Structure formats: C-alpha cells, structure tokens
Amino acid sequence: MPNSSASAHCPATALTGPLVVALVYDGLCTFEFGITAEIFGLPRPEFGADWYRFASCAIEDGPLRAQGGLRVFADHEPAVIDQADIIVVPGWRGAESEVPAHLIETLRRAHRRGAQLLSICSGAFVLAATGLLDGCSATTHWRYAEKLRTRFPDVTVDETSLYRLEDRIHTSAGSAAGIDLMLEIIRRHYGADKANRVARRLVVPSHRAGGQSQFLERPVACRTGNPIASLLEEVRGRLAEDWTVERLAAQCPMSPRTFQRRFSEATGMSPGDWLTWERVEAAKDVLTTGQDGMETVAALVGFGSAHALRHHFRQKLGLSPTEYRGLFKKE
C-alpha cells in the first residue's frame, strides 16, 4: 500500500522547501521521470534544509509499466497532489492517449490553489487537456507540435522554444529540454548560483543557447500533388541564385499575386520566409560538414554576405553560425 505521507522518505533533518510531486502512470516515460527525480529528488545537503521535497505519485492503479521493460510502484497516492507546490507531468503515454477525467480535475484544483504545473515533452498534452493553457503559449517536442495544435486549437503552440513559462503553467520541449526548464525553476526559486551548481553536478550547461528550432528537420514540406512542388525542388538545388517572387511566379507560370496565394496554400509560408528557412537549412549542412568561412557559406546558400547569414541564422535558430558549428560539427 503506498504511503500517503509526503515526507515519508525525508532524512532526519527534514526538508522545508517546496514539495515537488512527479506523476507516475502506466507507460511512464522513464527518462523524463528520471531527470525529474534527479533534479528535485536527489539529496543536496550542501543547500541546507530549505530545498525541495520530492514525492512520486501514482495516478492510477498498478502495477504500472515504464519504458525499458520496467515495473514501477510509486510511494504515494493521488492525495499527495493536494499538498504539492509543484506538479511535474514527466511525458505522457501518447499524443492520442486520453487524459483521465479525475486527473484533469485534480490538476485544475491544484492550479486554483496556487500550485505550479510543469510538463516535459508530450506531457504538454496532459496540461492542455485541463483547459488551463487556453489562450496561452506552450511548447512540446517539435514532432508533436502539429498534433498539439490540432487537438487544442485554443493553445498557441511554440515549437521553437526549449520551454515556455505561463502563469504557473510551464511546458518544455523534447525530453532533455525538461532539464532546461527545471534549472530555470531552480533559478527562479533559489537564484543563479544554486541553479549553476545543480547544472555542474549534472554535467550540463546551466543555460543552453538557442531554442528547439536548431534541432528541427526541414520546417515545411510542400503538400503532395501541388504543382508548386517541382519548383521548390528546383529552387533547393539552386539556392545561391537570386529568387524574387516575380521569377518564382514566372517559373509556374502565374501572376505574382496568384503565385503568392498558391504558394502559401501549398507550404503554409510566404515565399520569402520559405526561402530563408531553406537557406538556413542548407547553411546548417555546410557548417557541419566543412571548414568554409562565413562569407563562403553565405555565398553558397544565397544569403550574399556573412552579415545576412548571421542575421537570419540567429533570427531563425537563436544562435550564431559559429555556435551552431561548434555544437553540431561532424567528425
């Protein structure tokens, strides 16, 4: 029988900081739960008694399975959620998996009394199901962004950020971005020094440059069967050339106005924004596979100058071409 006392496993010198409760469910995302327990549940006596208390809580009857062939048994029952200051949803068992009604109401009740709600990766679907994210911005793994947007149209989905913080409801992107979010929570609760010390112990940067967009695959693919598709392939093969809207339209052939409308219908983007993204994508490949200087890279992909390359790269990815090369250079 799980123990309902939130302090059941506290050391002799009881901790007095915020109570963090991590939800446990059938199909538990092992990595997401693991980093939550590591950051909030690992003993850190060097920080004194005013540090986080931690509890795991089963939201349904067990035995429960976790990824990797594990069976898990949480220490607490759902009643502990009513004591939590922070509730973490460590992933979810699938973007299409329904969220139990009792969990939705429990999270709504917790938020009403002032608790913070955090999600990692697909856990955003759980928070979105509560309705508490309606009218707010949220993020999730970029692969799930469109599904989140479709299922919850009242949520503004930001697939480029590592995390978003909105009125005590915080979401993070792909699995490891949960670390970034939780370090930010520590930074806000206890200051930069303690957040940096936790990061050093984890052997991760205390703050990552850029956002999730640096990991995206090509952002837009033309819808199958659209007559503009062949034009896009031609442009991708000749990015160094000057592609004006007039030139693109003439290739179809269409009037510039009709072309822009048809292009937007096919790709969801304007011709200019699509071309910029494609040039950034091409630059990423050049940067990680060669040693060319920035002027050469810019010329190869059609930006024209190193200044333009740096501007668009930082605008789209949140970091410079040099930083990107340092992170992703192939051996």
For residue range 279-326, list pLDDT tens digits in order: 988 898 899 888 889 999 999 999 999 999 999 988 887 788 998 888
Parts of the chain belonging to CATH 1.10.10.60: 217-328
Q: What is the mean pLDDT of residues 257-285?
A: 86
Instruction: Estimate to the nearest angstrom the gap between the alpha carbon of 248 and the chain centroid.
Output: 35
Name the phi and psi angles at 165, rounded to 5: -120, 120
**In the CATH hierarchy, which top-level class contains the domain 19-214?**
alpha beta
Phi, psi of 241 (to 5 degrees): -80, 165
* Band (90; pLDDT cuts 50, 70, 90): very high
In the chain, ranges of CATH 3.40.50.880 domains: 19-214
Looking at the whole model, is its pTM more than 0.85? no
Type and span of the H or E element at 80 = none
Q: Is the pLDDT of residue 35 over 90?
A: yes
Distance (Å, whole) CA 234 – CA 87: 50
Across 20-29, average pLDDT: 96
Mean pLDDT of the 270-275 span: 90
H or E element, residue 56: strand 53-58
State the virtual CA torsion across 138, 221, 226, 301 in degrees, nearest 10: 130
Give the pLDDT band of residue 159 (cuts 50, 70, 90).
confident
Identify the band that residue 330 occupies on the pLDDT scale cut at 50, 70 and 90. low
Q: With 70 as the cut, is the pLDDT of residue 193 above it? A: yes
Q: What are phi and psi of 227, to 5 degrees?
A: -65, -15
Burial of 77: CB neighbours in 10 Å, binned 0-12, 13-18, 19+: middle
Give the CATH fold of the 217-328 domain: Arc Repressor Mutant, subunit A (1.10.10)
Which residue type is seen at 331? E
Q: Residue 3 pLDDT > 90, yes or no?
A: no
Q: What is the mean pLDDT of residues 194-211?
A: 76
- C-beta neighbour count of 90 within 10 angstroms: 27
- pLDDT on residue 104: 97
User: Which are the contacts of 39, defined by CB distance < 8 A and separation ≥ 6?
Assistant: 179, 182, 183, 186, 198, 202
Radius of gyration of the chain (CA): 23
Residue 226 — very low, low, confident or very high, per pLDDT cuts 50/70/90? low
Burial of 128 (0-12, 13-18, 19+ CB in 10 A): buried
Q: Which residue has the higher pLDDT, 167 or 83?
A: 83
Q: What is the mean pLDDT of the chain?
A: 86
User: What percent of the chain clears pLDDT 70, i.e. is strictly above it?
Assistant: 89
Quick one: CA torsion of 30, 33, 36, 37, rounded to 10 degrees?
Answer: -90
Percentage of the residues of the chain whose pLDDT score is greater than 90 = 56
More confident residue, 237 or 230: 237
As a whole number, mean pLDDT of residues 22-47 equals 95
- Measured in degrees and rounded to the nearest 5, phi and psi for residue 322 equal -65, -40
Give the list of residues 6+ apart from residue 1 with CB closer than 8 angstroms, or none. none
Give burial (CB, 10 Å; 0-12/13-18/19+) of 29: buried
Task: Answer whether residue 6 shows pLDDT above 70.
Answer: no
- Residue 216 — pLDDT band, cuts 50, 70, 90? low
CA distances from 199 to 182, 270, 311 (A): 10, 40, 30
Q: Contact, 303 vs 283, CB < 8 A?
A: yes
C-alpha angle with apex 229: 227 to 231, nearest 5 degrees? Answer: 95
- Quickly state the pLDDT bin for 207 (edges 50, 70, 90): low
Half-sphere exposure of 101 (CA within 13 A, CB side): 0
SS3 call for 57 = strand
For residue 108, pLDDT over 90 is answered with yes
pLDDT for 110 equals: 96
